[in-house]
Amino acid sequence: MTKKATIIPIILPTPFDVGPVNCVLLKGDAVTLVDSGAKTEESREILISSLKEHGLTFKDLDQYICTHYHPDHAGLSKEIQDFGVPTLMLQEAVPYVSVDREFTEWAESFYMNLYDSFGVPNSLGRIELVKLRKYRTFSNPFVPDILPAPGDAVPGHEGFVFLKTPGHAPDHLSLYSESEGILIGGDVLLPHISSNALLEPPPMGGTERPKTLLQYRETLQHLLALHLEMVYPGHGEPFTNAHDLIRKRLLDHNERAKALEHLLSDEPLTVFELCARLFPKLYEKQLGLVVSEVAGHLDLLESEGRVSIDKEEATFYYRRTGVVR
């Protein structure tokens, strides 16, 4: 007889501004851990003690699923895998979590060139590169054992399937049970803050930057069509008002885009100039997040024909083309 899954959230501290991260222990016909927290001693000890409270160690896990490559979710993946636990992620995660040298160099070059085109001073761009390298140290490199395809059944948990939910990260996956309306969603939808659609490099050899906010909006529209009763997010408390929250997030995107459109009413501006005007207290401290936010909403405006891009030498300038709505 199939055993109905028991869902047990495990809250772990992180050294990041986002605060604690939620992992999930899923107990059914299989014992599954979803996400593992950052690679810190404090996080490791709390994860081990939390499993112990349920009579488990890493060796007792039947499988480990990581929702995406960010270190606050993937940091202890290698340690869990070293206990012989099969590790599952989407194919898109491999170059990130394996820290493929060629891909890493490609990505760093992409970010520096992108910042240049956005008008970011070279000194600030290099600081962001240092921060990115530091960020990576909170996760050890590994290669997933199993690469499920979207729509595949989650082994040992009848009714659950893997969903590909990109936007916040290119490799983002969620676990979904249609019959129960349950989404174990990682960072795809958070109750208290909006998930950043972070800038990402194209695949190796590609030239066009992925439009991550547009990807994320497609993901949200897909989720809006699903039966959602309960969402277990990567940060914050589990919640039930998913459809209302999705509509709010989409509306918030439109409002932020409108604010940018207004800023462009008098003159064309670079992404960096828009960052400084829209986030005057944050743009230097959290440049990577702010640039992702501004560039994503400019992509939205461009997709609707409301801005155009002029290139002067190596720098892009955004110009308003339409009437502010």
At 1 the pLDDT is: 56
At 324 the pLDDT is: 45
pLDDT in tens, 36-47: 999 999 999 999
At 313 the pLDDT is: 81
What SS3 state is found at 35? coil
At 203 the pLDDT is: 86
At 266 the pLDDT is: 79
At 130 the pLDDT is: 95
- Of 118, 170, 95, nearest to 288 by C-alpha is 118
What SS3 state is found at 237? coil
Sequential pLDDT tens for the chain (325 residues) = 567 779 999 999 999 999 999 999 999 999 999 999 999 999 999 999 999 999 999 999 999 999 999 999 999 999 999 999 999 999 999 999 999 899 999 999 999 999 999 999 999 999 999 999 999 999 999 999 999 999 999 999 999 999 999 999 999 999 999 999 999 999 999 999 999 999 999 988 787 899 999 999 999 999 999 999 999 999 999 999 999 999 999 999 999 999 999 999 878 999 999 999 999 999 989 999 999 999 999 999 999 999 999 988 889 999 999 644 4
Determine the Cα angle at 200 with ends 287 and 70, to 5°: 80
The answer to whether 93 and 144 are in contact (CB under 8 A) is yes
At 208 the pLDDT is: 87
pTM (2 d.p.): 0.95
- Of 157, 120, 83, nearest to 270 by C-alpha is 120
At 325 the pLDDT is: 43
Determine the Cα angle at 83 with ends 79 and 85, to 5°: 95
C-alpha 284: how far from chain center: 22
